[in-house]
Structure formats: structure tokens, C-alpha cells
Amino acid sequence: MKKRNIGRLLLCVVVLALLGGCLYLNTLMPIITGYAAKNLASAVFVSGRNPQDVEQLDLNFSFIKYTRNKVDYEHKTVRSRFLWASSTAAFREGYGVTLLRGKNKEAFLAQAYPLPKEPDYAETLQQGDSAEIARLEPLAKAFVDDKSYNGTPFAFVVLHKGKVVAERYGKGITPETKLLSWSMGKSFTSALVGIMAGDSLVNVFAPMDIPEWQGDDRKDITLNNLLQMQSGLAWNEDYGNRSDVNLMLHREEDMGLYALNKPLEHTPGTFWYYSSGTTNIVMRYLRSKFPSDQAFLTYQRERLFGPLRIDNPYFEPDMSGTPVGSSYLYITARDFARFGQMYLDDGCAGGRRILPEGWVDYTVTPASASEGRYGAFFWLNRCKVCPDVPEDMFSCNGHDGQQIYMIPSKDLVVVVLGYSPKRCIDFNALLKDIIDLIDDGE
């Protein structure tokens, strides 16, 4: 009798464990299938990449590699399945790809906004000194073709004194290929804040008029707190589990709303924590200053992307229509380089001021609680994360190794785009070698 009872108890434990595991796995389904659908759709319909290449490289990890993906070229959608669940992402011309969530998918896809006519911008970046190009060519080949610094680079561009001195692309990638920013998009969001502040549309240092915050201490949060990742809001940025960032990007219709509804854990301005939710709060707030999605899109193109000569950018929106400022910008490698050069040139490009005076200095001022590693949606080298690189370097950093490095003392911009899980590329060695080759010709 006792053995029978023990057997029943063990059976119950096993059944409960299996049930608990299935319930937890079910909560992961929007993340697993959503990640596959969204990233594959953008890679195919925005970047023009081969879907098999994307599955073998970008999606070849964790549960994601077990998804079954269907690319519908006629309707420009991707449906990704895993076990009993599926997700669909859809492309809209001018806006890019959105992961479809909620009950209003058909209405969302039916929305038609007259887009501003995109000018065909002439190339503005000039080639640098031929001797310098020759010195850097073996390094570019070693980095991209031979993967000597690890990772699988898609694109590599180096500007010295505003001119191209190195440029190379990986398999299936061209100078016209629009590539994903991941968190480098945060720095573009910061630039939009600066432009809107210069136009007196927002006040960086004043409490924000967010309705959901007016009944508690969150009403004291400023744009400055958000830009410096010191809002004090609760957040979990762990990419490896059912975290806030994963739920926001793959489950939520309104990503900024999800993030701003988090409770306050610290006094604003006193605690630093990196949060993608923070950036989507900022982008949602910027969007609220315009009467429509179209008006906001037009402003971005007329005030930021157009002056930088960036043709047809895709700052992809969530289901609310707000661009996902934390993660989903698609432009070319040369476009990312132009953005970096603008910051080296104190916010100017093509003889025109884009960012207000003083904004670049503000951007690279360390957040008080960041120990010198972070400014306003830009990373800093004050803490010598790259020990062999000048301390004045600042950068735009993205998931899987997307980088724009700006080194004022060397008049240098370095762009790296591609696949580098867990930042396996040795960026310190790469930058040191570039600087040494530049210095050899000085």
C-alpha cells in the first residue's frame, strides 16, 4: 500500500512538473514566434536578404531555431510557428515591418498614409586619401572576409576626417542594403529629442506631462532622467528569458505604454539601469506632440534623415503606430556613418546645423549614477571599456554587435554591422588596429 501511494505521489509530481513546464513554455511562445517572424520579415522585405541565410545565422539559437517560418512574398508577411503557437509580421511600404498583435490586425494593415516623396539623394561621402585606403584594406578584408576579430560582419565602414577610408560588405550585403540598428536606434531617438527641444516642442529638464504619471511620484520624471537611463522605473533588460524587454518587443501592441506603466523603484536621477522600455517611453512622448503618425514621420524625415541625406529610412512602428525607438531602425551602413559624423561635427552636416548648439556636449556628459559609462542614449569610454582607445570615444551600441564608434581626438568614425552574439567581436583590438594604421600616415 505504501509503495502504491508513493508511486501515485511521484506520478502527481511528474504531471504537475510537466503541466508547469507547459504553462511556462506557453508564456514564452509570443517571444519565440514573435522574434522569428519580426526579424525574418524585416530581413527579407526591408533588407532584401535571403531567408535561408537569415534562418541559418540570425535565427539559429535557443528555441528560435526550431520555428517553422513561411514567407509570403505576395502579401509581404512572415508567419512563424513553434509547437502550438504562431506569430505573423507584416511589411508596409514606407513604414517597414510590424509584429501583428491584438484584435485590430486587419484595420492596422488597411491604414494607408500618403507618404512624403523620397528624394533620390546623391552620394555625399567622399573617398579619403588613397594611401590611407591602401593601408586599411588588408584590415577590412581580414575583419569581414576572414573574421579575424570574430563575429560575422555584414558591413564595415571607416570615416577619417569625414571621408571613407575603409568599406567592405559580407555575403549578400551591398552598400544599398538597409540593416538593423537594434539599440543604436536609441541614439537616433536622442537626436530627435534634441531637434524637438531646439524647436521648443519639448523641455528636456521639466517634468513630463504623461497622464498615467500624474497621480504619483512618477510625475517628477524628466526627459533628462529617461535619456540618461535614470528614470527609477522598474525594469528587467535580461534578453535570455521572459523579461520585460522580451515581453515588450514581442507581445505588446503599445510598447511605450507597457514601459511607462511600470512602478517607480528609485528616486528619479539617482539610479542608473539600462532599459529599452525607457527609450520607447521617450518615443511615445515625442509622438504625442504631433496630430498624426504621418505628421511625426514627416517631421523625422524633414528634420533628421533628410538633412543627413538618408534615403527612405525605416523606423519600424509597433501596433500603436509609434516607431520602436529602442530597436527597429533600418538604414544603410553609410547612413549610420553619416549619423556618427554629424556628432563629430557638433551636430552639423552638409553645412547645415541639425542638432541645436550644445546638444552633442550634453549627449556625452556622463549620467550622474553611470560611473562614466553612459551619456544621453550614447555609451561613453570614460570608464575605459576599450582600454586601448582614447577616453573621448563615445558610441551607439546595439544587440549582436551593431556599433557606431566616434573618436573626436582621431576624427574617426567606425561602423560595424552584423552578427556578433554576446559581443564576441574584439572591438578594442579592432579599434586599436585602425587607429595605429591611421597614425602611421600622420
Domain ranges of the chain: 2-110, 130-440
Do 225 and 231 touch, CB atoms closer than 8 A?
Answer: yes
Q: How confident is the model at residue 22 (pLDDT cuts 50, 70, 90)?
A: low
Q: Say if residue 21's pLDDT is above 60.
A: no
Nearest to 279 by CA among 248, 252, 303: 248
Q: How confident is the model at residue 114 (pLDDT cuts 50, 70, 90)?
A: low
Backbone angles phi, psi at 216, to 5 degrees: -150, -170
Query: Using N-to-C axis directions, what is the helix angle for 185-198 and 333-344, rounded to 10°?
Result: 50
* Placement of cell 517611453 in the chain: 281
The CATH number of 130-440 is 3.40.710.10
Do 233 and 265 touch, CB atoms closer than 8 A?
Answer: yes
Q: Pull the grid cell for residue 333.
A: 551602413
Q: Lowest-pLDDT range, 162-171, 173-182, 422-431?
A: 422-431
* C-alpha count within 13 angstroms, C-beta hemisphere, residue 244: 20
Nearest to 313 by CA among 322, 304, 321: 304
118 or 69, which is more confident:
69
> Which pLDDT score is estimated for 32?
96
Nearest to 317 by CA among 98, 81, 50: 98
DSSP 3-state assignment of 308?
Answer: coil
Do 132 and 441 touch, CB atoms closer than 8 A?
Answer: yes
Backbone angles phi, psi at 353, to 5 degrees: -80, 125
- The pLDDT tens digits of the residues spanning 355-400 come to 999 999 999 999 999 999 999 999 999 989 999 999 999 999 999 9
Backbone angles phi, psi at 157, to 5 degrees: -135, 135
Q: Pull the grid cell for residue 138.
A: 588588408
- Average pLDDT over the chain reads 92
Those residues with Cβ within 8 angstroms of residue 215's Cβ, 6 or more apart along the chain or in another chain: none
Query: For residues 322 and 128, what is the distance between their CA atoms, to the nearest angstrom?
Result: 39
